[in-house]
Structure 1
């Protein structure tokens, strides 16, 4: 008896979006609490909790994607959501920065499984322009997380302290676990599974088009993460914004991500994904350069905030189109491809966080330098991908 085809319904897409929002929720919600966290635990290494989470995300995606090609998607989504739930509670009661960093790493492992498998399921059931649109819609829906998370985080910091944020993250992980159990189908039936072989990584890495588009995704995300990792310190400690005003500024930029995703779905009806990606990368690079100039000249607020908005907004177009173009090059190995992409994306993001504090002499200049540098590399990778395509 043949398997009944799975349709990408609105409900399924919303469920995948919630799973893919595991990262934004776990990153953006506690940004307003980073200064308080550092004071409470008497540490200057609060940003390393970001790096720990991102490296955990990278590791989880690298391992789980290829395993899911062999053993199916659903069981790993369930396990990942359960791990995220348990470790969120551990983060909430962590007595020192060392345990918190370790717990954040494990939380990243679980969240990484949710993210990579949400991305793997789309090419399991659709392809081409439909897949690019699905990735964009998933980005729009999951974009609610980075828009709402810092606002909610600032309220929680004011009322419950930074630990309260992790109890809320545990609740979100519980919702993701319910979605994994009751909404997400198995999209990798036994007939479509491949033998377990980490040689799948070799196969996708040998495809130059995939590698270069994957690096576009990775460095594009790293550019934004330079902003994410430094924004709470730059805006609250240097510019003197309150946690609530910071959350509004951060949320506005997150809404820009959603706007970019919505725009992308319309543009794909008229233009090729590669053409849209090219323009988005140019806008992102120019805006990041303006951010750096503002940082070097004393952070004039209006140009600085506008440049940040236009440095962040195109990322939805970059991520959606570059992901679709990368996966299209190795569609029969979607799980392994998603693993490699996710590993590179979050490893680069984890590395850029401490790098921001090491260059430029200040958090603001370091943020600008890293944003520009990553954006320029993303443009270079796009040019090389087009030559190989």
Structure 2
């Protein structure tokens, strides 16, 4: 439990019921969309975007794992920020297990963010001129070396971020005693400091992304590429832009609002966090749609699949109608005979 003393700030029973149903529904859609999107990418033979395809699969895999963890816990965040309670199936876990679940969930969220960042990095490097020092470095460095470098960066940031989180994580039992004794000021200074660090780091994210996009756009305009290469880069750039727009609306802004509500103790903070989590759970299906629609080879595969399904449906309907046709004629004839029989009986009775 956390230090929220006003019960009116807590979500209503109706909202919690909607929250649970929405989470289960969103998770069901995600579980269908992610494997379908990955299968489309795997079975699309296009050597030009094979490397980028691996980055997309990596991002969708972390997104699926994050959505599963978020939906199964059904978290309602309290103050201080690490304190929460769950309304879904894994809320029955023990105290230690829930803390572990929380830390692992944060780690998975960070991995998803890194996966999106590496898509940004890949397209940025590809948009640079061939004689660019950065592009030369990436071309000259072995792939294994690049992978190890990226893994090292991820581990160092995860270790630093999660290490601070675990160090500043409040004792849940102590927070319960604080709530019982109605002392909202116990041990809060270091918690605000820890949350503020994450808030500032998140605040800087959009500026980094916008700077990368501007550099990519300018590089694409300056380079003298062939028409095919330019169209390919433009397609991937457009896909990435819409992915980042979806990420900003359904991940970044809700997370910022969640942290703001709890950091600055806004009224109805826990209720606000429930609404924010609903937005977060909508991101992955929309991200899948952006990938399938804005990357032309994948869009073509989906369009062909829909045509096949439509043709199959029309054929099945015609076949079914043809098979049922004699039966329909028999029923119609039987009904007509019954109507004639009733009319004859009525005339005889009248006579």
Q: Same fold by TM (over 0.5)?
A: no
TM-score normalized by the length of structure 2: 0.35
Which structure has the larger Rg over C-alpha atoms? Answer: 2
TM-score normalized by the length of structure 1: 0.32
